[in-house]
Amino acid sequence: MNKIGVVFDLDGVIVDTAKYHFLVWKNLANTLNIEFTEAHNELLKGVSRVRSLEILLNIGNVTLPEDTKQDILIKKNEDYLEYIKEMNADEILPGVNKLLNELDNKNIEYVLGSASKNAPLILKQVGLLHRFKAIVDGNSVSKAKPDPEVFLIGAEKLNLKPECCIVFEDAIAGIEAANAANMMSVGVGDEETLSEANFNFNNLTEIPTHFFDEIISE
């Protein structure tokens, strides 16, 4: 594999915005008298806002009219943006800058592949927007993970075949999407949860120095 490219998920890989999603969804769940735990929040990782609301309503066995759902989705995003506006470079996860520097030194290009519609704003807030060759986010796709659409578009942005791309993901839906796209998948987080990934690391600081060299030489 002579030339490779990398597609990064955002939440839980580059920055930890999952904590903000949890706080907002929990507040919304409280208004609907739904008990929403951190374990429930794991089900929302890597999926769209619309699908997340469906999961939340299923947890509470609650049915709502469509216009009410739309109001909730708007409110959710507004509340979430208030948290995002306070983000800065301190919220970049450990190992990210070192990994991006390594990719730059090896002339390996990378893009973002995220379900978040706020990805550009988040990257701008933490000072990383300029480093990515392209951003593929919730505004760019019609199908949410585990559909591989977001990663396949990422491969196009890299001008590479899918099998030449490596995906870094922290969510089960993301790993499934990467595998469905015929890309090499790297799970960032609990190995048992992300067992379908080709490689697993607890966080980006654990990635070996020669990780990409070995993939290129294969």
Which residues sit opposite 113 in a β-bridge? 136
Q: How far apart are CA 197 and CA 186, in angstroms?
A: 6
Tokens describing residue 197: 């990934």
- Catalytic-residue membership of 79: no
Q: How far apart are CA 28 and CA 19, in angstroms?
A: 14
Cβ-contact 4, 212 below 8 angstroms:
yes
Q: What is the dihedral of CA 130, 134, 137, 139, to 10 degrees?
A: 100
Instruction: Out of 11, 79, 147, 170, pick the active-site residue.
Output: 11
- Catalytic-residue membership of 11: yes
Q: What angle do CA 2, 92, 54 make, to 5 degrees?
A: 90
**Residue/partner pairs of 153-157 with CB below 8 Å, 24 or more apart:** 153/113, 154/7, 154/111, 154/112, 154/113, 155/5, 155/7, 155/181, 155/183, 157/111, 157/133
Residues 6+ apart with CB under 8 A from 148: 162, 177, 178, 180, 181
Active site residues: 9, 11
